[in-house]
Structure 1
Amino acid sequence: MTRSNKALLLFSGGQDSATCLAWALDQFDHVETIGFHYGQRHDVEMSCRETIRRTIPDLKPEWAGKLGQDHVLDLSVLGQMSETALTRDVEIEMNEDGLPNTFVPGRNLVFLTFAGALAYRRGITALIGGMCEADFSGYPDCHKDTLDAQMNALSLGLAKPMTLETPLMFLSKAAAWELCGELGGEALVEVVNRETHSCYKGDHETLNDWGYGCGTCPACELRAAGWRGYEAGQKGSSGK
C-alpha cells in the first residue's frame, strides 16, 4: 500500500540502493535521493545513478511522477581521513580485527547524519537505506542495532521523529534479487543487473552474467553468489 508521505533514499547507484528505489516508489508518494562523493575508488557508481533514476520510474505506471529531486554531497573529507582499500588504490585484504580493509569507519553514520539534516530541510522524516546484516562484508555500521541507535540520536538532535527503512536488512543477496523481481518483474531485474555498479575496484568494463565487475573483490563475490542463488531458485520454481 502506498504511504501518503515522502522519503529520502540513500542512493549509491549500486544493486541494493536501486532495488530500494523500486521499493520506495511502491511505498511512498514522493521519493527523493541523495548520493555522496567520498573519495571512493569505485566512484563510477555515481555515474550510474542518473540512468537508474531515469529508467526505473518508467517500468510501472504507478511509479511515474513519484521520483523527486536528486541531491549529491561532497564528503571527500571522509576519504581523506580513511586509509582503506575503498578509498585508496591498495590490495583488498582482511585486517587483524577480522574486518576487510574496505571498511570505511563511520561511513554509514556520517551518511545518515547528512541525509537526516537534508531531510529535515526538505520536510521529510523517513530515510531509506540498502543496509543489510544478513549477507554482507561484516561492516559494524550495517547492523540494525547500530542504525537504530543513530536514528534515535538524529531524532533527538533534530527534535523530530526520524525513521529509517531498510527493506534488505534481513535478506540474503539471492533474496534481494527475488525482491527485485517481485517489485518490477524481469524488466527491473535487467535494469539492476546491467545498469548498477557494486565492484569495489571500479571495474565497469567487464560484463558478467551478474553484472559489471572484477569478479574477485568482496562486493563482486557477494553479488555473483547472490545471482547464482537467485538463478537456481528461478529454475527450481519453473520446474526446469
Structure 2
Amino acid sequence: MATDPRKALVLFSGGQDSTACLAWALSRYSAVETLGFDYGQRHCIELECRLRVIDELRAAFPDWSARLGEDHVLDLRLLGQISDTALTSERAVEMQANGLPNTFVPGRNLLFLNFAGALAYRRGASVLVGGMCETDYSGYPDCRDNTLKALQVALSLGLDAPMTVETPLMFLTKAQTWSLTQRLGGDALNALIVEHTHTCYLGERGPLHPWGHGCGHCPACALRQQGYEGWRAGGAGAELPA
C-alpha cells in the first residue's frame, strides 16, 4: 500500500530505469502520473514502448493501476534541432575527447526537469521521480546527484512551492536495479521489463535476449546485460543497500 499522500510525476521514457522508477513510485505514492518527451531522438521506438509498458503494468498490477493516472508527452523537438549527438542524428556511438560518449545530449535532463516541474505544479504534484544514476552510467553530468539536488532547490524557489526530486536509482548498480524491481513486483515485473522496455541507443528491438531487446553492443545494452547477469549470478552487487 502507498504510504505517502503526495502526488508524484514520473519522468517515463519506457526504458528499464524509468520503469523501475515508476514501479517504485506506485509502491509509495497515493497518486502517480507519467511524463514522456519527444525531443527529436533518432528513433521513436521508446515512445511506442512506453505506452505498451504502461498498459502491461496496469494489467499485471491492479493495485498500482488504481493509483496510476494520466500520461503526458511533451514536444521538445527543439532540443534535437540544437543537438549534434548520436541520440539525435545518424552517427556512430563513440567516445569524445572530453571523456563523454557522443550520446550525451547537453541540457537534456535540465530541460526535462524544468518542464516536468511546470507540469507538476499545474497537476497538483509535488514530487518528480527520475531514473538518473551516477553509479553504473555513461558519465553524463546531468545524471549526477549534485546536479539533481541543485535542480530541486532551483525548482522549489522558482515555483515558490516545495518540489522534491527523487532519484531512487542514483546510487544503485544495474544489478541492484534488477534486484529492486524483483523486490517491488517479483518475477512478473522483471519479465515485463525484459519483454517490453527499451534501452538500446540504436533503437533496435530484434531478437529477445535474456536481458531484453537491443543491439547488444551499445553502452546502454552493455550496462543492461552486465547488470542482468550480475543480478542472476546473485553477487554482492545485486544486494540492495540497507
Deviation at 1:129, TM superposition (A): 0.4
Is the CA contact 1:31–1:68 (under 8 Å) kept in the aligned structure 2? yes
Question: Is 1:13 aligned with 2:45?
Answer: no
Match of 1:209 in 2: 210
2:224: which partner in 1?
Answer: 223
Q: Which amino acid aligns with 1:17?
A: S
Superposition RMSD on alpha carbons, in Å?
A: 1.3
Higher mean C-alpha deviation, range 37-46 or range 185-194: 37-46
The answer as to 2:139 corresponding to 1:138 is yes
- Letter in structure 1 aligned against 2:34: T
Residue identity matched to 1:93: E
Alpha-carbon contact 2:57-2:65 (below 8 Å) kept: no
Find the counterpart in structure 2 of residue 114 from structure 1. Answer: 115
Matches within 5 A, 1:1-240: 2-233=3-234
Q: Give the SS at the match of 1:177.
A: helix
**Matched position secondary structure for 1:77:** helix
Q: CA deviation at 1:62?
A: 2.9
Question: After superposition, what is the alpha-carbon deviation per residue over 1:1-48, rounded to whole angstroms, capped at 9, x for unaligned?
Answer: 521121000000000001111111100111000000011123201101
Deviations 1:85-136 (A, max 9, x none): 1111111100000000000001000000000000011111100001110110
How many percent of aligned residue pairs carry the same amino acid? Answer: 58
Distance 1:197 1:44 in 2: 8
CA distance in 1, matches of 2:153, 2:59: 35
* 1:89 aligned counterpart, secondary structure: coil
Where structure 2 has 5 or more consecutive residues not aligned to the other structure, the ranges are none
Aligned residues: 235
Once the two structures are overlaid, the 10-residue window that deviates more, 80-89 or 56-65, is: 56-65
Distance 2:196 2:62 in 1: 21
Alpha-carbon distance in structure 1 between the residues aligned to 2:134 and 2:76: 24
How far residue 61 of structure 1 moved from its aligned partner, in angstroms, is 4.3
Cα distance per residue 1:168-224 (max 9 Å; x no partner): 110000000000100000000000111000000000123211101001111001001
Aligned-pair CA distance for 1:51 = 1.4
Read off the aligned partner of 1:178 and give its amino acid letter.
S
Whichever residue aligns with residue 169 of structure 1, its letter is: M
- Between 1:111-120 and 1:202-211, the stretch displaced more is 202-211
TM-score (normalised: structure 2): 0.94
**Counterparts of 1:64 and 1:93, CA distance in 2:** 40
Report if aligned partners of 1:129, 1:164 keep a CA contact under 8 Å in 2. Answer: yes
- Give structure 1 stretches of 5+ with no counterpart: none
Q: Is the 8 A contact 1:59 1:184 kept in 2?
A: no
State the SS of the aligned residue for 1:32: strand
Distance in 1, Cα, partners of 2:33 & 2:61: 18
How far, CA to CA, are the matches of 2:61 and 2:72 in structure 1? 24
- TM-superposed deviation, 1:50: 1.4
Letter in 1 for 2:99: G
| Counterpart-to-counterpart distance in 2, 1:166 and 1:181 | 18
